[in-house]
Amino acid sequence: MKLLELWKNYNQKDRRSRRSINQQPYLATISVYKWWLLVILLVLGACEEKIPTLPIDKAPLIFETITIPSDSLNFDQRTIEPNLGGSGVLFVGNDEHIYAYTLLKFANLSTLPDTLDSLISVSLNLQTYHQFQSSGESADSVDISISRLYNNGDDPWSEDSSNYKNFVLADHTVDYLTSFTFHETDTITVKSVLLDSILLDWHAGNNDYTLVLQQADTAIASVQAFYSSEETHYPWLEISYIQDGDTVSIKIIPSEDLSIISFKDNVDIDKNLSISAGRMSFARLNFNLKNLIRDKNAVIAKACLHLNINQDQSQLYGENFSLYVTIPDSAVNDTSDYNPMHQVYDHLHPIGSTDNDAVIDVKKVIQGITSNYIDNYGIVLWSPPTNLNISTISFYNTSSQNADSRPFLEILTMKEQ
């Protein structure tokens, strides 16, 4: 690369100057190169940095800024089945954006003794994570109900494949057991004689192993979150009984757990680009760079994608948003089966809850495309369902009525004079 040649050229002159008796012919050149190496370091920093102007008659590098407008950017909005079994958080709640409930399956009972005649107690233990409030204000006390799901001998759900589209709670028989009040402490412990009887029923061979957690009063706009069995702060049943005269307590972790999340708000995909982990919506962005960067000697010093956030169609619950950027391969052309989770992401771009825009570094992919190192499949913007939030972020796309809110790509090239 030209930049590397420049660096080597500077080093060679510097070494020769140390061997030479008369160093004056080289001092001005070294000074210029030092100045411009400083300029290069500044330019290669954050996308917001500007090119400094230095009083040098003849600079060794030429910089050029190329702005690629929105009509050279093509967005492809996609949504795949939002299977959330790998999430580290379980959600229970209801607000203007989502309705969520949690399924807990306790099918691993092999650690219990063959006979369980002296059961003392059964408690459900949940480790709280957070309470999400779209209003930003603290909610009133929120009660969570615990119910039993009857499956008539069949297992109706799996954490690897079930979601709000293929599992509907109303299609199954559910019996209320008890309830508890959510509070953000380390652990919530729920005891009930009905849990005792259910455990004995399971132990006797009934395989209706699922408990359902729902918000009792759906009029309260609030979403509660607990850690799932994917985390070290997992939920568990604590079972105490007497065996051979001793009191024994064991923990049983869910064999499966899953949040079923249904989003109420429909994002206008004709005007917005919506990214959500909970609904697993993501976007592919194609760059039309043909004939825009013609000089093969030019190096991409910077490439920044500017996206403006539509606050009206975003819901971040006061949390930062983790936007992942992936450089896809040809598999992205398969619109039915492509999943960005199946590829290694290039980098993570955090977005603050009060940010109005996002400036994303795409230098690597632009350099690769213009140098013919990689094929031009664009980039994919997404957020994995393992993230600990239910946020949705929406950017204005190329069809926005307000031209100033449309995305654009800014590229800075450099080459030798």
Shared domain check, 176 and 314: no
Shared domain check, 173 and 26: no
Higher pLDDT, 84 or 409: 409
Quote the pLDDT of residue 100: 94
Shared domain check, 395 and 324: yes
Shared domain check, 209 and 130: yes
Shared domain check, 225 and 192: yes
Of the residues 237, 263, 289, the one at which a domain ends: 263
The yes-or-no verdict on residue 284 having pLDDT over 50 is: yes
User: What pLDDT digit, counting tens, does each position of 306-318 carry?
Assistant: 999 999 888 888 8
Percent of the chain with pLDDT over 70: 82
Shared domain check, 297 and 244: no
Count of residues for the chain? 417
Identify whether 269 is part of a domain. Answer: no
Identify whether 268 is part of a domain. Answer: no
Shared domain check, 259 and 124: yes
The yes-or-no verdict on residue 7 having pLDDT over 60 is: no
Identify whether 214 is part of a domain. Answer: yes
Shared domain check, 69 and 114: no
Percent of the chain with pLDDT over 90: 41
CA distances from 242 to 106, 201, 202, 406 (A): 21, 18, 18, 68
| Token couple for 307 | 């996206």
| Token couple for 55 | 């009083």
Quote the pLDDT of residue 2: 44
Mean pLDDT of 144-157: 90
Identify whether 270 is part of a domain. Answer: no
Identify whether 293 is part of a domain. Answer: yes
| Token couple for 400 | 């926005």
Shared domain check, 64 and 46: no
Residue in this structure with the two tokens 């954050």, named with its chain if needed: 46
Helix 2-19 and helix 24-43: axis angle, to 10°?
A: 150
The yes-or-no verdict on residue 31 having pLDDT over 90 is: no
Across the chain, mean pLDDT equals 82
User: What pLDDT digit, counting tens, does each position of 58-108 carry?
Assistant: 567 788 888 888 888 888 888 877 678 888 899 999 998 899 999 999 999
Identify whether 349 is part of a domain. Answer: yes
Mean pLDDT of 217-240: 93
Please count the structural domains in the chain: 3
Q: State the Cα angle at 342 between 339 and 343, rounded to 5°.
A: 110
User: What pLDDT digit, counting tens, does each position of 122-131 carry?
Assistant: 999 999 998 9
Q: Domain limits at 226?
A: 89-263
Identify whether 108 is part of a domain. Answer: yes
Mean pLDDT of 382-406: 86
Quote the pLDDT of residue 139: 64
Quote the pLDDT of residue 57: 57
Quote the pLDDT of residue 93: 95
Most confident option among 12-16, 283-287, 289-293: 283-287
For the chain, how far is it from start to end, CA to CA, in angstroms? Answer: 14
Identify whether 272 is part of a domain. Answer: no
Buried b (16+ CB within 10 A) or exposed e, 317-326: bebebbbbbb
Quote the pLDDT of residue 86: 82
Shared domain check, 379 and 255: no
Of the residues 231, 263, 295, the one at which a domain ends: 263
Of the residues 263, 297, 329, the one at which a domain ends: 263
Contact at 8 Å (CB) between 240 and 125? Answer: no
The yes-or-no verdict on residue 18 having pLDDT over 50 is: no
d(CA 247, CA 264): 49
Shared domain check, 255 and 184: yes
Shared domain check, 375 and 303: yes
Buried b (16+ CB within 10 A) or exposed e, 18-38: eeeeeeeeeeeeeebbebbbe
